[in-house]
């Protein structure tokens, strides 16, 4: 009888261990999946923020009707461009092609240059604000053209990232 109860105890121990291993692995996979989705979400939100900023500026200065509050909202200040510091790392979590990743890197690089030029302009002119159109047309013509060129692709990439997050 002692042998049978020992075997039963051993079986219970092995079954309990296997259940713990299975549950632990499943929880680890779920945690990893959530972490990956969070990184892809942060990348998407960064891109979306910059697209909205660019689109808003374009509508204000090239749209049919300009209101004072629209113009006021198209005045940029130091610190307006907030970058997710790990956006390059997050590219690997967004299920993108190499071409899409290169477009994102180019898009973000243009914004980094613009951000630096805004800071330089404001410092040089001893002011704290500039009209977005001024900086884009006069000081950042090359970057502005590149942003215009990349904009449709970036919008599609945002949709793709969003779909990947929802599907996972």
pLDDT of residue 61: 67
What does each C-alpha distance from 7 to 12, 13, 18, 20, 106 come to in angstroms?
9, 10, 16, 20, 65
Q: Note the pLDDT of residue 72.
A: 63
Per the confidence metrics, is the pTM higher than 0.85?
Answer: no
The pLDDT of residue 87 is: 83
Backbone phi, then psi, for 75, in 5-degree steps?
Answer: -100, 120
Please report whether residue 153 resides in a domain: yes
Range 140-146 contact pairs with CB under 8 angstroms and sequence separation of 24 or more: 140/113, 140/114, 143/110, 143/111, 143/113, 143/114, 143/117, 146/106, 146/110
Domain that holds residue 151: 42-167
pLDDT at 158: 96
Looking at the domain assignment, is residue 33 inside a domain?
no
CA angle 144, 147, 150 (to 5 degrees): 155
Domain assignment of residue 98, yes or no? yes
User: Looking at the 3D structure of the chain, how many domains does it have?
Assistant: 1
Q: Residue 101: its pLDDT value, please? A: 94
Q: Mean pLDDT per 10-residue run, the chain (168 residues)?
A: 74 72 64 73 92 81 64 68 80 89 95 88 81 79 92 96 88
């Amino acid at each position: 009888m002692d042998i049978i109860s020992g075997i039963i105890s051993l079986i219970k121990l092995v079954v309990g261990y296997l259940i713990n291993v299975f549950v632990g692995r499943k929880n680890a996979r779920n945690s990893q999946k959530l972490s990956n989705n969070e990184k892809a979400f942060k990348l998407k939100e960064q891109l979306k923020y910059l697209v909205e900023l660019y689109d808003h500026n374009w509508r204000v200065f090239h749209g049919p009707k300009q209101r004072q509050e629209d113009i006021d909202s198209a005045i940029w200040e130091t610190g307006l461009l907030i970058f997710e510091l790990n956006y390059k790392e997050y590219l690997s979590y967004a299920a993108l092609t190499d071409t899409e990743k290169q477009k994102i890197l180019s898009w973000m690089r243009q914004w980094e240059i613009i951000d630096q030029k805004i800071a330089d302009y404001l410092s040089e002119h001893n002011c704290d604000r500039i009209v977005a159109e001024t900086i884009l047309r006069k000081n950042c013509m090359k970057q502005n053209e590149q942003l215009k060129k990349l904009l449709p692709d970036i919008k599609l990439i945002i949709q793709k990232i969003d779909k990947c997050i929802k599907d996972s």
